Amino acid sequence: MIESFFNKYKKIFAGVFIIGILCAVVPVIVGCGYTYLCEDDFSFEGGAADAADVYGSNVVAAAHKMVEYYNVNQGTYLFNYLIHFIRAYTRGGLPGFHFYMILNAVAFCAALIFLLKILIKDNTASLGASFAIFASVFSMSNTQCGRELFYWYTGGLNYLTELTLGLLAVSLCILYIRKKKVIYLIASAILAFLASGGSLNVVCADLSWLIAVVILKREEFVKDKKIAIPAAVSFVGALINGLAPGNYKRAERDLKEGHSTFFDALRDTFKCIISEDMFLFTSAVFILMLLLAFVIFTIYKVKVLEGKVTVLNLVIVLVGTWFARYFTMFPVCFGYHVDEVINMRTASSYEIVAKFMYFLAVAVLAQFLSEKFEGKTDRIAMGVLAAGVLLALILHSALSEDIKSGMSYVSYNDYKTGALQETYAAREYILASLSLAEKGSDVAVYVRPYRAAESTYGMGLGEGADEWVNRSAAGFYDLNTVTVFYLEE
């Protein structure tokens, strides 16, 4: 009965899912149009501009800075190059800066939808899965950590860009397996190598997905070994990244007793993913989206894995998704020598990967149960749907608070109240004042009171002229010192 109902009104449900996707995604995209230079952005833009002057060519300058940064700070070769090559603010001012930030966010959303469309042939089911995942990524508790991925230029280049490239690499690898067009294989390998040039936690996630494709397509692998090329290239890139001298120099600067060895990191990672995953399941939105995805996958008979799901494949997926989460967290614990997530960017990137993995596990579980209990899927779907509705009613207040604390709602609310526009106007005024100031002067900027937006990322500039961000901004604008005073009413 429930299957016939959902199939009868397929177009209506597709429309509802599209509206849901837009509600989750559009506020974040709009927020990208109100971003500004902050934190590390000043030092990178300044260093890139200086290098371009020295070498006379932006392409050559970026290559030199990439090698330098690789040796002294971190092995993120793609990020190292792009951050010194793109120079979004220097080249295009704030309009160019916004164009890049919007493009980066849109590319991530498009890559995710592209992958889901490849995995899920039914259009309505694909849209439903997209809605469930986007709601989890943007519209639940702790998704405000995504500010460092979507609203921070440096964070977006080092995390979100490589996550997007990884999604595209997996998509093209799957397309090669299905269609045997070499162009897909070549493109997948190139993207896989590029994706390995970002933050190591994202790199490990991208690599684990490509390895998973090979494992789940092991019968195909026996016939065509080339399907492992993207995973192999990704692994080589990860080695190049991970073995960089800069990684070790950076890690040695922040050693902590009891958290310094490889084995300490193994323990810390285990503790970290348990606490992070437990936190995910305190979210009413996340739980309900998992249940919704299960219902969608069951009703529309979604086959994420071609052929029947064996018990072995189900176990491989359940264990594999755990390892994917584990290896995503490991570089964070090993590099920072911690047993907790200390940065918003690492929290957000881990949680996005973890959510992907949980939805994959649900999809394969739904396919397994549908095949195992063929003819009874209607009852299974009805039971899960009823449980979801009941849970939503019970957790109504918590659900509302969960949504309102999410990145989408906070961005939307800031825009609606005008706080986003006022915050941006204040930041724009600061940047304009610094860019118009006399070279070599001591600049003090006084900012009148304004409504501070909750969704935006901190600029980092304050009253301390000797603070690192202030000195970076002074260097970028060729000033002696920079101080920013935020006046109170």
Residue 483: alpha-carbon gap to chain centroid: 33
Tokens, residue 454: 């909750």
Name which of 340, 225, 227 is nearest 274 in CA terms.
340
Cα 214 to Cα 234: distance, rounded to the nearest angstrom:
13
338-365 CB burial, b ≥16 within 10 A, e <16: bbebeebbbbbbbbbbbbbbbbbbbbbb
Cα 152 to Cα 146: distance, rounded to the nearest angstrom:
9
How many other CB atoms sit within 10 Å of the CB of residue 291?
A: 19
The answer to whether 438 and 466 have CB atoms below 8 angstroms apart is: no
pLDDT in tens, 52-104: 989 888 899 999 999 999 999 889 999 999 999 999 999 999 999 999 999 99
Question: Which pLDDT belongs to residue 255?
Answer: 53
Name which of 193, 471, 143, 489 is nearest 481 in CA terms.
471
Tokens, residue 421: 């526009």
Question: Which pLDDT belongs to residue 184?
Answer: 97
Question: Which pLDDT belongs to residue 341?
Answer: 73
Cα 376 to Cα 34: distance, rounded to the nearest angstrom:
50
Q: Which residues contact 213 (CB under 8 A, 6 or more apart)?
A: 170, 173, 174, 177, 227, 230, 231
Tokens, residue 115: 């992958």
What is the DSSP secondary structure assignment for residue 143, as one 8-state letter?
G
Report the SS3 class of residue 484.
strand
The answer to whether 149 and 155 have CB atoms below 8 angstroms apart is: yes
pTM: 0.93
Report the SS3 class of residue 376.
coil
Cα 24 to Cα 412: distance, rounded to the nearest angstrom:
10
Question: Which pLDDT belongs to residue 267?
Answer: 82
Residue that the structure tokens 């603010």 belong to: 89
Cα 410 to Cα 414: distance, rounded to the nearest angstrom:
6
> What is the chain's length?
489
H/E run at residue 357: helix 344-372
Cα 73 to Cα 70: distance, rounded to the nearest angstrom:
6
φ, ψ (nearest 5 deg) of residue 444: -120, 125
The answer to whether 456 and 68 have CB atoms below 8 angstroms apart is: no
Question: Which pLDDT belongs to residue 385?
Answer: 81
What is the DSSP secondary structure assignment for residue 141, as one 8-state letter?
T
Cα angle 218-219-223, degrees, rounded to a multiple of 5: 110
Per residue of the chain (489 residues), give pLDDT as tens.
666 777 778 899 999 999 999 999 999 999 999 999 999 999 999 999 989 989 888 899 999 999 999 999 889 999 999 999 999 999 999 999 999 999 999 999 999 999 999 999 999 999 999 999 999 999 999 899 999 999 999 999 999 999 999 999 999 999 999 999 999 999 999 999 999 999 999 999 999 999 999 998 888 888 899 999 999 999 999 999 999 998 777 656 665 555 566 777 788 888 888 888 888 999 999 999 999 999 999 998 889 988 888 899 899 999 999 999 998 888 877 766 666 677 788 889 999 999 999 999 999 999 999 888 877 777 888 888 888 888 888 888 888 999 999 999 999 999 999 999 999 999 999 999 999 999 999 999 999 999 999 999 889 999 999 999 999 999 999 999 999 999 886
Question: Which pLDDT belongs to residue 261?
Answer: 67
